[in-house]
Structure 1
Amino acid sequence: MPGVKIAAGIVASLVCQLASAQSSVVLSGLVDDGITYTNNVKGHSVWRTDQGFAQSGRWGLKGIEELGDGWAANFVLENGFDINSGRLSQGGREFGRQARVGLTSAKFGTVSMGRQYDSVVDFLGPLTANGGWAGAPFSHPYDNDNTDNSFRVSNSLKYLSPNVYGFTGGTMFASGNDTDFSNNRAWSVGARYDRGPILVGAAYLRANRSGQTAAGAISTTDAVISAQGQQIWGGGVNYKVGKGVIGLSYTNSVFYGPGMNNLTGIEYNGSKMSFQNIETSVRFFVKPNLLVGGMYTYTKGEHTESAGEQHTHWNQAGLMADYFLSKRSDLYAMAVWQRLGGDHTGAGGMQGALLLGAAGVSATSNQVLVHAGIRVKF
């Protein structure tokens, strides 16, 4: 029955077109690689091939299905990888950057579940140099405030509000997935105002026993510094002036009963460790395809030990130039310097300078890192 077959084929074609119009799946990602020189790593200079100093390598799938009445179901699966070795990042997870599913509405906002970013990353990180336009080496010491997104939060339920006259907000709760409800759980809240030349953001995060369990909110392979308790809060502002942007931010991080520092491999034995970070930055387009920026950060650290309080401070400055070959490809170069001062020779484990991304701790109080790379987005 040729007529029936033709009619069935037309109906099938229309159904496929309708489904295509109502839903979509997009593959995207980026590859970033370059050469790094570090002047002092345990007393020696080091040349390395390093990936992801502007942004770490990733690929992912994003899907959305229109449900009607302004509602849509969506998901994100995002993988992190090292281009030079081919290894998975984020503790070897297949989708370690993000893995979430949820519902969204232009009127009511978005609710999602899975492995996600906390409110500090959502609302405050983009206002800093490392979390916005520069890269990992510009991070505050040990990325103590997570503005560089060093850890993600697993087992999380998150809400993001719609944009109302420039205001957006959100909150997140993450379970420890343990019989002890308080074991390795976390929650955060944040807000942002973005209108005209001004962008303002603030966020707060609280975590219990972060890095203490593998299946908790902030797992053992996520936490930079494990602790019995962890608190981060801060705010920042970016102000547009012509072709440039001026930035200022303040963050405060406290670790109660700090344990292992997974960057230095040193076990802390104090009752409390805190960091206060003040950052100023400026960036501007010299040409339509050439961005130049600079950053200075002062960090004050305190570590309470049995022998008393240890006081440490860091001065850090960085410069970056980013030349855009196209909308998806760019060449960039950065140079970052850090100097460590104060009482940094005790059990606090702050014996030398350490820039995020460097091959290791400096044998002195100073460290300089220079990196040039290429980034391609798809």
Structure 2
Amino acid sequence: MKKNRQRRLAGLAAVASVATAAHAPAFAQSSVTLYGIVDNGIGYQSSSTTLGSTSGGHSAFKMITGVWAGSRFGLKGAEDLGGGTKAIFTLEEGFSANSGAMSTSNLMFSRQAFVGVTNGTYGTLTAGRQYASYYQLLSPYSPTTWLTGFYGAHPGDVDGLDTIYRANNTLLYMSPQLYGFKFSGSYSFAGVPGSVNQGSTWSTAIQYSQGPVGLAVGFSRINNSTVGGGAFGADSTTSNAGAQTGVSAVTNGYRTAQAQQRFAVGAGYTFNSQFDITATYTNVQYIP
């Protein structure tokens, strides 16, 4: 009798379990990923002096953060909305592994902070602080893919192919890949009263990638919010609280330009997983 009761109870439990599973709602899949990089090295600089100085430089050994990749931590999230569409977000902050200081003062997520939706058929639309289309499709053929900052980029990031130029208030569309082609366009709203151009940044690029061959062409224009040029205004979309990014001894004389324009072509060929070759051509103009 006891054994029969146990069997009936087990059967009822199994039925209840199946019924519960059958009536349980199907929740959308979501994920949040915490990621990061800590990069430190020792470097030698043959001549070092203050920005704008043309004399008095001395050699120096330094501990340098971000040799291969900028030190950072971030959060990435995705929420399945159904029908192949997902809501996505990224929050990413850079820092110095030497001192622990933020890479950019007064910005909590200086590298990236955006939200958007993505669909495999229709593409991706994002809004926030992010890299312009020019950088996103040309960067695979840039030397900064392998060496960043102090060693891989041109001084002052003159061609915009390092990871310095990030634009605030950016609306960016990235198409899906179709027959090897991918297109992107972005516009950054400065919000200056009476002007849609002043302080804005706009960019467009197209990339072809099929098998071992890759090619990209891009254009970018960064407008100064200061009328007629001058110190970059706080409303400039690539400005960090009013300070123009990407200024060095090479570009210091152009820091008050009314606008910056960049056109670039990049290409690459992958021989195998251990060896590939890339090349880029850039034309940079500072509009007085």
Q: TM-score, normalised by structure 2?
A: 0.79
Mark the runs of 5 or more structure 2 residues left unpaired by the alignment.
1-12, 49-55, 226-230, 248-254
Q: In the aligned structure 1, how far is the partner of 2:101 from the partner of 2:194?
A: 34
Q: Do structure 1's residue 230 and structure 2's residue 260 form an aligned pair?
A: yes
Tell me what 2:220 maps to. Answer: 205
Name the residue aligned to 2:157: 143
Contact 1:145/1:252 (CA < 8 Å) preserved in 2?
Answer: yes
The CA distance in 1 between the partners of 2:270 and 2:223, in whole Å, is 38
The number of equivalent residue pairs is 246
- Is this contact kept in 2: 1:203–1:233, CA < 8 A? yes
1:1-378 alignment, distance < 5 Å: 19=27, 22-41=29-48, 42-130=56-144, 132-136=145-149, 137-181=151-195, 182-209=197-224, 212-219=232-239, 220-225=242-247, 226=255, 227-242=257-272, 243-257=274-288
Task: Give the match for residue 376 of structure 1.
Answer: none
**Which residue matches 2:6?**
none
**Are the aligned partners of 2:114 and 2:130 in contact in 1 as well (CA < 8 Å)?**
yes
Per-residue Cα deviation, 1:24-80 (whole angstroms, up to 9, x for no partner): 111011100111111222432211111002111111111111011111111110111
Q: Gaps spanning 5+ residues in structure 1: where?
A: 258-378
Alpha-carbon distance, 1:155 to partner = 0.7
The superposition leaves residues 100-146 of structure 1 with CA deviations (integer Å, 9 ceiling, x where unpaired) of: 0111111100111000101221011220112x112222222321111
When you count helix as a share of all residues, which structure comes out higher? 2
> Compared with structure 1, are the counterparts of its residues 126 and 221 closer, same or farther at alpha carbon in structure 2 (3 Å cutoff)?
farther
Label 1:101 to 1:222 Cα distance change in 2 as closer, same or farther (>3 A): farther
Q: Using the alignment, how far apart are the partners of 2:109 and 2:134 within structure 1? A: 21
Q: Do the aligned partners of residues 206 and 144 (structure 1) sit closer, same or farther apart at CA in structure 2, a change above 3 Å counting?
A: same
Q: Hey, what's the Cα distance between the residues in 1 that align with 2:209 and 2:31?
A: 29
- CA contact 1:115–1:153 (8 Å) conserved in 2: yes
- Structure scoring higher RCO (CA < 8 A, sep ≥ 6) equals 1
The structural deviation recorded for 1:222 is 4.6
- Measure, in 2, the Cα distance between the counterparts of 1:147 and 1:116: 14
Q: CA deviation at 1:92?
A: 3.5
Find the aligned partners of 1:224 and 1:246 in 2 and give their Cα distance. Answer: 26
SS in 2 for 1:215: coil
More strand by share: 1
Identity %: 35
